[in-house]
Amino acid sequence: MARPFDVTAVETKWQARWLDEGTYEVDNDDSRDRFYALCMYPYPSGTAHQGHIRNYTFGDLVVRYQTMLGRAVLSPLGFDSFGLPAENAAIKAGSHPRPFTEARMQELKTSLKRLGAVYDWRREVYSHDPEFMRWSQTIFLRFLKAGLAYRAEAPVNWCPGCLTVLANEQVLADGTCERSGDLVERRNLEQWFFKITDYADELLFDLDSLEWPERVKTMQRNWIGRSEGVEFDLPLLSDPTKALRVFTTRPDTGFGVTYAVVAPEHPLLEELTTEDQRASVEALVARAATESDLERTASSDSGAGLEKRGAFTGSHVLNPFTNEPVPVFVADYVLGTYGTGAIMAVPAEDERDHAFAMVHNLAVVRTTEPPEDFEGGAYAGDGLHINSGFMDGLDVASATVLATEYLAEHARGVAKVNYRLRDWLVSRQRFWGCPIPIVYCSVCGIVAVPEDQLPVLAPDDVSMTVSGQSPLATHEAFRTTTCPVCDSPAERESDTMDTFCDSSWYFMRMADPFTANAAFDPTQVAKWMPVDQYIGGIEHAILHLMYARFYLKAMIDIGFAPGLAREPFRRLFTQGMIRLDGTKMSKSRGNLVAPEQYYDTVGADGLRLFHLFAGPPADDVDWTDQTDEVIDGCGRFIDRFYRLSQLDGVNFHEEVDDVDQEVRRSVHRTIAKVTSDFNRWSYNTAVAAIMELLNTVSKWARSEHGAQRATFDEAIDAMLKLLAPMAPHVTAEAWERRYPGRDGVHQQHWPVADPDLVKSATITMVVQVNGKVRARLEVPPDISMADAAAEALEDATINATLAGATPKRIVSRPPRLVNIIV
């Protein structure tokens, strides 16, 4: 493609200038209004792919736009540089993850610089920086001191392929590892946990105050899974002094409890199991031990599947409502970790209880009258109670109140709130992460490494060969140490922290990486936090965002970050994915389209424009056969604009006439349109509006009539400013050529539309008769309802159409439309 300027030279020149002049460096004591714009810091996987390009194009647009609005914009970048892929690659290559990771960081950095994305590089944060690790470890120890970190043995998801523990969320619905695809097993290990459940309510309720996409908030609410209910006793038939404690959200259905179910891990199971049932119970327990929570709670088809998933214990408990004995089963779908590990079963009002009851021939007693036309097994909706003694005739809400009172009196019932959210398991049996700064002393037990000895760094000569345990545990010199308290022989913790720990506070470090001997100075960070605009992928909707919210709240509460607002991200934008052949474009799928090939042809500006133009930013983008042509089209647009800005083929005339004035109106309408589109994340329409304006201005200026000079300059300057956040290089270059030696286009103030020019003198009003368009009238935009109707009725065409008929009704919606009904 023949370009009117040397794209590579221009882009290189401006990238170097922004970097050398520190154009986008910002100090913490800047006196302007502040704006913190942040893209989720990337995992350094090598050169940027289109997903990165899209993400950082949006982010850079925000940075440059907010700067032009006159704000001091904090725009940092860093790298989420710990993690499994680097470790696996290092194992494969027989090298160390650090050089591997740092090479990938450099590649990604280079790609992003070539995109023209601008950052304050003095604030770069990366997870494996010893200074950053020092504070990650300090925060861990402060959590420990505050009782927010604890060690417990717990069943964990063990991936036999990765030889590590996985978080629940790393296990797919089919019970396989999201990374290796191996079937995940259950194992018990001593692990470190953070008490995120202490914050369940706050994490839930504070969502209301956030300007986040509703769907993300919904996902977080579901993940927390708050449910209000009652915990109460089902006395054992064999020994009524003992009881099975259960939790339910539907105490009102108590008369319909026809059996109870305990989890395979339940402590009373042994006692409940009778000799003749022992074999089948033990078989079930053994089988459940090999399954993940997700497998166990996944709904399975009724019939044989369900039959195998439950076994009768041989014992009975008493239903406290009816005082009738009901059988106790054990089933894998009841989890030992949720609620009390036991449930009451109401087959008439619960889908799964019903399926289970059918398979095991258990009684079904309805307590809620379903609607007349209801067909099916369990009815979970509202209705009047039946077969329910003192609750008969009541709806669910009233019955629930009475049932709760009844249970409080008769079954040691207490109202209780349960959560689906579990405490955060942070231990990882991997090498390439931040070591947990703990030693286990033969005398003192668990001992924190003194803060003045942090960071605890892993030695470089560790064998990462897969061994089934933490690589650090195999390094004698690292593992063997002495107790910092009593000097007795001790062992270092050999697990590392979940990388989500790093991403939970990096944005605070970025706000103030300058204060010596501190993670940050809270008063400095408070100048920037919360992040005004956070941008990232929807895949982080639950975990990263939940953990970061927890970290901030906890750090404030333990005095580590006093004075900060309790939510880290005020506004969140989640961009759509790039898809190729129907699947997400990603390195692991190997379906990447590299940006470099476009830098050399249409340039970074062209590629940026494509991503802005391709569709709504929140929507997925399909990379197709046509995409290259669209990208070329974006390059063509830049060229057309550049030529016009350099007066190529333009005719001028002296006096302003009506035609010039109409162009001015277009310019100001476009300014208004682009500004409002920016504020509503509608970049595709903003680009389209500028394309439209270019068409208008170009035809006008190149026509025989030509352009009035001042009007033309106003149009070009406006377009340069509007495009500056989108296509920064070409606009910087064109501006400099128009105004050599003056401040650059990115130092200009964002244009403001003149309201008088935005509103047109007249607007086309449609006049309909019976919903059909019969006439179009030019009317003032502020025409009244009565005047609009009157003008419509005076119109000759309308009168002809009406042919003397009397209107039954006139719908007047000025200034758009009048509809006359006859």
Partner RNA sequence: GGGGGCGUAGCCCAAUUGGCAGAGGCAGGGCGCUUAAACCGCCUCCAGUGAGGGUUCGAAUCCCUCCGCCCCCA
Provide the binding-site residues for RNA, judged by CB under 7 A: 1-2, 169, 173, 215, 218-219, 222-223, 294, 297-299, 351, 538-539, 541-542, 582-584, 613-616, 619-622, 624, 626, 629-630, 632-634, 636-637, 639-640, 643, 682, 684-685, 687-689, 691-692, 695, 698-699, 702, 764, 766, 768, 770-771, 773, 776, 809, 811, 813, 816-817, 819, 821
Dihedrals φ, ψ of 187, to 5°?
-140, 155
Nearer of residues 464 and 689 to RNA, judged by Cβ: 689
Nearer of residues 254 and 347 to RNA, judged by Cβ: 347
Cβ contact 536:55 at 8 Å: yes
- What's the closest the beta carbon of residue 304 comes to RNA, in angstroms? 17
Nearer of residues 49 and 217 to RNA, judged by Cβ: 217
- What's the closest the beta carbon of residue 351 comes to RNA, in angstroms? 7
Separation of first and last alpha carbons in the chain: 60
- What's the closest the beta carbon of residue 758 comes to RNA, in angstroms? 10
Neighbours of 685 (CB within 10 A): 15
Token couple for 669: 């309408």
Nearer of residues 92 and 772 to RNA, judged by Cβ: 772
Dihedrals φ, ψ of 263, to 5°?
-75, 155
Cβ contact 814:785 at 8 Å: yes
CA gap 161, 519 in Å, rounded: 36
- What's the closest the beta carbon of residue 355 comes to RNA, in angstroms? 11
- What's the closest the beta carbon of residue 9 comes to RNA, in angstroms? 18
Cβ contact 204:226 at 8 Å: yes
Nearer of residues 6 and 33 to RNA, judged by Cβ: 6
Nearer of residues 36 and 598 to RNA, judged by Cβ: 598
Which of 159, 162, 167, 163 shows the shortest CA–CA distance to 184? 159
- What's the closest the beta carbon of residue 299 comes to RNA, in angstroms? 5
DSSP-derived 3-state class of residue 488: coil
Nearer of residues 25 and 620 to RNA, judged by Cβ: 620
DSSP state of 469: S
Cβ contact 209:567 at 8 Å: yes
Which of 609, 623, 637, 543 shows the shortest CA–CA distance to 577? 623
- What's the closest the beta carbon of residue 367 comes to RNA, in angstroms? 21
- What's the closest the beta carbon of residue 382 comes to RNA, in angstroms? 15
Reduced 3-state DSSP string for 134-147:
HHHHHHHHHHHHCC
- What's the closest the beta carbon of residue 229 comes to RNA, in angstroms? 18
Which residues is 708 bridged to in the sheet? 653
- What's the closest the beta carbon of residue 574 comes to RNA, in angstroms? 10
- What's the closest the beta carbon of residue 183 comes to RNA, in angstroms? 16
Nearer of residues 279 and 811 to RNA, judged by Cβ: 811
DSSP string, 513-550: --STTSS--HHHHTTTPSBSEEEEEGGGTTHHHHHHHH
Nearer of residues 238 and 696 to RNA, judged by Cβ: 696
Give start and end residues of each alpha helix (H) in 212-335: 214-224, 269-272, 278-289, 293-297, 304-308
Buried residues in 174-198 as b, exposed as e (16+ CB within 10 A)? ebbbebbeebbbbeebebbbbbbbb
Cβ contact 116:59 at 8 Å: no
Nearer of residues 209 and 703 to RNA, judged by Cβ: 703
Nearer of residues 31 and 806 to RNA, judged by Cβ: 806
Token couple for 90: 């290092």
Token couple for 591: 């379906």
- What's the closest the beta carbon of residue 661 comes to RNA, in angstroms? 20
Q: Give the H/E segment covering residue 558.
A: none
CA gap 585, 261 in Å, rounded: 45
Nearer of residues 151 and 702 to RNA, judged by Cβ: 702
Token couple for 88: 């696996």
Neighbours of 613 (CB within 10 A): 21
Which of 541, 535, 538, 566 shows the shortest CA–CA distance to 551? 566
Nearer of residues 274 and 583 to RNA, judged by Cβ: 583
Neighbours of 567 (CB within 10 A): 20
Q: Give the H/E segment covering residue 607.
A: helix 603-613
Bond preceding residue 807 cis, omega within 30 of 0: no
- What's the closest the beta carbon of residue 685 comes to RNA, in angstroms? 5
- What's the closest the beta carbon of residue 575 comes to RNA, in angstroms? 12
Q: Give the H/E segment covering residue 731.
A: helix 728-738
Token couple for 771: 């919903």
- What's the closest the beta carbon of residue 534 comes to RNA, in angstroms? 18
Nearer of residues 92 and 680 to RNA, judged by Cβ: 680
- What's the closest the beta carbon of residue 2 comes to RNA, in angstroms? 4
Neighbours of 707 (CB within 10 A): 24
CA gap 317, 247 in Å, rounded: 15
